[in-house]
Structure 1
């Protein structure tokens, strides 16, 4: 019985991963045609993705470029956190910070949003 439970857990993780990858692919395909509105960056930082110890600089780490932004569609305010459809891992902090350079806190940016679901958005379409 424990073997069966393990198989179900693995199957659930695989299905969840496949769904998330499929959804990101849909966003990548559709976002170049989405309308855009002006938004504002509220958070922008490089974050270690797989820190191997308490110190993010120690060991081998991948880095994520993390952003948060606020925008309004038809008077409703939304918050987004997608730079692009598929998140990228960077091999160094400097590389992640370079990806974030156009998006400092307070910057006014163009936010592309799904017209059917305005809470779904990206800063870099495609």
Structure 2
């Protein structure tokens, strides 16, 4: 097995392990206890995202929230929305004004009470949206891509070696 094949398979396996862990965590978040929290702040965040070309980037906007919640008399702060999207509550707005308008229409208002899912094994590990989203699957898709490329690379190298024996 060639070095490039091995590297692709190792990289694919790494993404697979991360993906399985993320899916497992997201699935188990459905059964985490819920405490009442409160929205502390909201913000529209600008970020650059990749377009079809590797040299082109486009500016888009997303929504992030920060919240406080109490567990066993201790106040904690969090900002993760879900396992899969991280801090991003909503994203992909091409205009800042659209993001602000979405935020105005949403339930994410400062001092608004909100349900916070708290990991019983780590009270600092929280989400506002429990469960699996499409983005939770991304590491699995990436792992399949790398593993598939590894197998194709292996087959290609085998056929190349076979062709050289015929000459």
Q: TM-score range by the shorter chain?
A: 0.5 to 0.7
Distance 1:21 1:99 in 2: 30
Q: Calculate the aligned-residue CA RMSD, in Å.
A: 3.0
Unaligned regions of 5+ residues in structure 2, if any?
Answer: 1-13, 50-56, 132-167
Distance 2:20 2:46 in 1: 25
Unaligned regions of 5+ residues in structure 1, if any?
Answer: 1-14, 52-58
| Greater C-alpha Rg | 2
Q: Equivalent residue for 1:103?
A: 108
Distance 2:123 2:79 in 1: 13
Distance 2:101 2:27 in 1: 26
Q: Equivalent residue for 1:121?
A: 126
**CA deviation map 1:48-83 (0-9, x unaligned):** 1228xxxxxxx8313222111000111121111011
Distance 1:97 1:86 in 2: 24
The structure whose residues are more often helix, as a share, is: 2
- TM-score norm. by structure 1 comes to 0.67
Deviates more, 1:42-51 or 1:102-111: 42-51
Report how many residues are paired: 107
Residue 38 of structure 1 deviates from its aligned partner by: 0.5
Point out which structure has higher relative CO (alpha carbons under 8 A, 6+ apart): 2
- 1:27 is the counterpart of 2:28: no
Residue 85 of structure 1 deviates from its aligned partner by: 1.3
